[in-house]
């Protein structure tokens, strides 16, 4: 009888430890199985809708430059860019090193940063930027 009294609290602690372990394991498995696209769309939420956002710093949570939809922006001499987000419904052409198209509702990260001289709506529907 005395043995039973000692092992009952021990069993309760084991059960509690098992439940906590199971809960933590389930959370870890769920986090690891989340689709990568969810992480990729997170940057669209930091960029306001109907803007192209230019991040020139890793240290600020908000974009440094906001370009309204349909407008272009030039950066004489170029700027180092860590991230570009197109939260518009338009194709944008990025004049940089290299030159590339930035499709609607997408973003690109650069590590190391890339040099950008301008962002414009000039381009064709195939995604090839014109000069």
Residues in the chain with pLDDT values less than 70:
1-45, 122-128, 130-131
Instruction: Tell whether 69 and 100 lie within a shared domain.
Output: yes
| The total number of residues written for the chain in this structure | 131
Instruction: Answer yes or no: do 52 and 113 share one domain.
Output: yes
pTM: 0.62
Same domain for 9 and 48? no
On average, the pLDDT of the chain sits at 75
pLDDT tens for 76-106 read 999 999 999 999 999 999 998 888 899 999 9
Is 127 part of any domain? no
Same domain, 26 and 48: no
Cβ atoms < 10 Å from Cβ of 65:
17
Report yes or no on 115 lying in a domain: yes
Shared-domain flag, residues 21 and 47: no
Alpha-carbon distance 89 to 69, whole Å? 8
Domain that holds residue 28: 1-34
φ/ψ (deg, to 5) at 130? -90, 155
Pairing outcome for strands 73-86 and 65-68? unpaired
Q: How many domains does the chain have?
A: 2
Nearest alpha carbon to residue 102 among 85, 79, 83, 126: 85
């Amino acid at each position: 009888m005395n043995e039973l009294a000692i092992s009952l609290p021990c069993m309760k602690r084991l059960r509690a430890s098992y439940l906590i372990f199971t809960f933590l394991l389930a959370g870890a498995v769920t986090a690891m199985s989340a689709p990568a696209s969810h992480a990729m769309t997170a940057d669209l939420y930091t960029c306001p809708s109907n803007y192209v956002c230019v991040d020139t710093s890793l240290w600020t949570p908000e974009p440094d430059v906001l370009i309204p939809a349909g407008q272009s922006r030039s950066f004489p001499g170029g700027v180092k860019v860590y991230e570009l987000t197109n939260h518009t419904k338009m194709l944008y052409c990025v004049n940089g090193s290299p030159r590339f198209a930035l499709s609607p509702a997408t973003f690109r990260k650069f590590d190391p940063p890339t040099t950008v001289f301008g962002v414009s709506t000039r381009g064709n529907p195939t995604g090839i930027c014109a000069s």
